[in-house]
């Protein structure tokens, strides 16, 4: 039995989409854990996200700061409002690219893969820099563009010119004609701003595994469009490497194009990395760093987390993947999932000490969603009880599930 005199319990779930927000899930787990823990226990809660949808609100909630809104444009230049925020002293800003570059927001018209760009994201960035931010956390995901971040940089004052000195049209479709990048008009503070960019893929910028080939078709690109976009991103990497700023960082065209993760969101980070030295960071780690979880997890005796579906994707860049990699060797990790698709051996091999189902015999998905809070609270208590005095709880839940209707296997999407 572990020493429970003053254990440190870290609770860090993702959302249960369609049912519980990450904050509600964390609160339910905490209630359950405290039912079993001694009064001397320290319980720390950190609602989490993996760098995608919800990351902006997760970080601002942890900072106890309001969500702000401003006017910008979407990926095809139409006016829209976008959310963003600052930390307490206003020196650090957080932006979700999808707020001004999201594919769903331009899906009401025929997709424009060659025209779509990241200018709207740059409008937000320019605004926060002008207001004093000198560190920007940028969450990627769900982008409509494949412009290598040229739109974002244009909003910061950069100019992308062809051989005649004329500015290129917006979007990745024009980049093959790029000849020079004029950085003389960058806004004040742009070069002094440090960027941390969340990525959830390892794709390079160009080639068959790159931004255009892998993600372009999702954005409406035909085979010929993909070829045009890839050629443009190759040319962008070449011209970026010729700039003084990239040369000072010893970037070659091949080095820029092949950097793991730089192909995320149509290569939005390409210019930020080459010119401004932006860091590419796994999304869940970036959220954890921003909200203080990275520091807290080092001293955790128990880590409780959860998500809608536990499967092999959970072990590749998601919240659970971050937690299993960041925890210290003596920490005990428990996962409560709406649906568990890992075998006990697979969970153990992944560093998960206990995986519990959310439901026990409930007949349908609607009921599972309806009672997710109380069920998660109960699982939190069961997980702590298992840590204190190991039993065969997992087998017990498996038996209960076997009695339920097979409709229980409906997915809770992570």
Q: How confident is the model at residue 365 (pLDDT cuts 50, 70, 90)?
A: low
Q: How many domains does the chain have?
A: 2
Q: Average pLDDT of the chain? A: 91
Q: Which residues pair with 279 in a beta bridge?
A: 196
Average pLDDT over residues 240-246: 97
Same domain flag for 12 and 89: no
Same domain flag for 252 and 301: no
Domain boundary among 285, 300, 324: 285
The domain of 192 spans 55-285
Same domain flag for 304 and 270: no
- Domain for residue 2, yes or no? no
pLDDT tens figures, 125-183: 999 999 999 999 999 988 999 999 999 999 999 999 999 999 999 999 999 999 999 99
Same domain flag for 75 and 92: yes
Same domain flag for 213 and 350: no
Same domain flag for 36 and 91: no
Alpha helix segments (H runs only) across 217-308: 223-242, 244-248, 253-258, 270-276, 283-291, 293-296
**Highest-confidence range of 20-24, 68-72, 297-301, by mean pLDDT?**
68-72
- In whole angstroms, what is the distance from residue 13 CA to residue 281 CA? 20
- In whole angstroms, what is the distance from residue 378 CA to residue 356 CA? 11
Q: How confident is the model at residue 117 (pLDDT cuts 50, 70, 90)?
A: very high
At residue 372, the pLDDT reads 86
Same domain flag for 131 and 264: yes
Q: What is the CATH number of the domain that holds 114?
A: 3.90.1510.10
Same domain flag for 217 and 98: yes
Q: What number of H helices and E strands is found in the chain?
A: 16, 13
The answer to whether 65 and 86 are in contact (CB under 8 A) is yes
Cα separation of the two ends of the chain:
33
Same domain flag for 20 and 168: no
Q: Which residues of 362-397 are buried (b: 16+ CB within 10 A; e: fewer)?
A: beebeebbeebbebbbbbbbbbbbbbeeeeeebeeb
Domain boundary among 263, 285, 307: 285
pLDDT tens figures, 34-45: 999 999 999 999
At residue 409, the pLDDT reads 43
Q: What angle do CA 133, 79, 51 make, to 5 degrees?
A: 50
Q: What is the CATH number of the domain that holds 313?
A: 3.40.50.10350
Average pLDDT over residues 352-359: 90
At residue 3, the pLDDT reads 58
The answer to whether 56 and 412 are in contact (CB under 8 A) is no
Same domain flag for 299 and 261: no
Domain boundary among 228, 250, 285: 285
pLDDT tens figures, 246-291: 999 999 999 999 999 999 999 999 999 999 999 999 999 999 999 9
Percent of the chain scoring above 90 in pLDDT: 80
The region of weakest confidence among 183-187, 231-235, 328-332, 403-407 is 403-407
This prediction has a pTM of: 0.85
Percent of the chain scoring above 70 in pLDDT: 91
- Domain for residue 3, yes or no? no
């Amino acid at each position: 039995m572990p020493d429970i005199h003053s254990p440190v319990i870290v609770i860090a779930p993702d959302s249960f989409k369609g049912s519980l927000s990450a904050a509600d899930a964390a609160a339910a787990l905490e209630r359950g854990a405290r039912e079993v823990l001694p009064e001397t226990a320290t319980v720390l809660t950190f609602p989490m996200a993996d760098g995608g949808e919800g990351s902006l609100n997760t970080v601002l909630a942890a900072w106890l700061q309001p969500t702000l809104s401003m006017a910008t444009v979407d990926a095809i230049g139409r006016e829209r409002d976008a959310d963003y925020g600052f930390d307490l002293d206003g020196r650090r800003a957080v932006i979700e690219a999808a707020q001004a570059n999201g594919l769903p927001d331009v899906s009401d018209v025929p997709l424009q893969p060659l025209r779509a760009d990241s200018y709207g994201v740059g409008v937000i960035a320019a605004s926060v820099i002008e207001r004093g931010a000198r560190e920007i956390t940028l969450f990627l995901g769900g982008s409509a563009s494949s412009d290598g971040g040229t739109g974002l940089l244009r909003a910061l004052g950069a100019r992308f010119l062809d051989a005649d000195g004329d500015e290129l049209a917006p979007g990745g479709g024009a980049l093959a004609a790029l000849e020079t990048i004029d950085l003389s008009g960058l806004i004040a503070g742009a070069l002094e701003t440090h960027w941390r960019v969340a990525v959830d893929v390892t794709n390079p910028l160009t080639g068959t595994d790159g931004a255009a080939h892998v993600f372009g078709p999702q954005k409406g690109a035909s085979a010929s469009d993909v070829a045009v976009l890839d050629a443009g991103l190759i040319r962008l990497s070449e011209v970026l490497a010729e700039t003084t700023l990239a040369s000072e960082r010893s970037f070659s065209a091949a080095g820029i194009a092949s950097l793991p993760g730089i192909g995320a969101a149509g290569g939005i980070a390409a210019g930020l990395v080459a010119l401004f030295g932006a860091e590419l960071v796994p999304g869940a780690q970036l959220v954890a760093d921003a909200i203080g979880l990275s520091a807290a997890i080092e001293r955790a005796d128990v880590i409780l987390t959860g998500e809608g579906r536990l499967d092999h994707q959970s072990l590749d860049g998601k919240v659970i993947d971050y937690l299993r990699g960041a925890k210290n060797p003596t920490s005990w990790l428990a996962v409560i999932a709406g649906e568990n698709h890992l075998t006990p051996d697979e969970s153990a091999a992944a560093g998960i000490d206990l995986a519990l189902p959310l439901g026990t015999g409930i007949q349908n998905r609607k009921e599972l969603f309806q009672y997710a809070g109380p069920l998660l609270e109960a699982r939190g208590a069961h997980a702590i009880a298992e840590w204190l005095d190991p039993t065969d709880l997992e087998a017990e839940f498996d038996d209960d599930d076997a009695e339920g209707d097979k409709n229980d296997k409906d997915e809770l999407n992570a």
